[in-house]
Structure 1
Amino acid sequence: MNKLISDRIVQQIIKNSQMSLKETDITSNGDLIDDLGLDSFSMVQLVVSLENEFNIEFELDELDFENFRKYKVLEERILNKIEI
């Protein structure tokens, strides 16, 4: 896992959260909704921000809510989209 990429993902989660999150609040097994309080609007903003941050695009069939709910799954999806 590339720490720089992980840090960038964490920063986008913090930026798009309606809550005051710290980096230490976000864990690899964390649930962005249940654990971090992101709502549906924040999740949409997060997906757009991640696409912009990493210059990637998620296909329509990838936009299943469960693909973005867990930090670990989200991170894996981004890593699969970018070239490291």
Structure 2
Amino acid sequence: MTHTGDGTRGSATRGQVMALGLLSAGIALLAKWHEGPVFWCGALLGIAGIGGYFAQFDTPRGVAQWFLAAVGFCMVFMFGLQLLIGVFS
């Protein structure tokens, strides 16, 4: 029996880029609007980005993926901060 699913991925995958894009969109919306439906749309985008982040960066391989995982970790923190500012303001 052979195992072919364990190839080395050096660059970012499409799912990783999409997760970071969703986080970025959520942060951008929450930074501008602190109430209303746009705020909740940004919150949903960010939550989808966080879910994608944890699904896509479970085992980063290579320098590029580790760098994107670190950037994504900072973006998760920033999203959480923006969400708390919006909820408590």
**Larger helix proportion, structure 1 or 2?**
2
Q: TM-score, normalised by structure 2?
A: 0.30
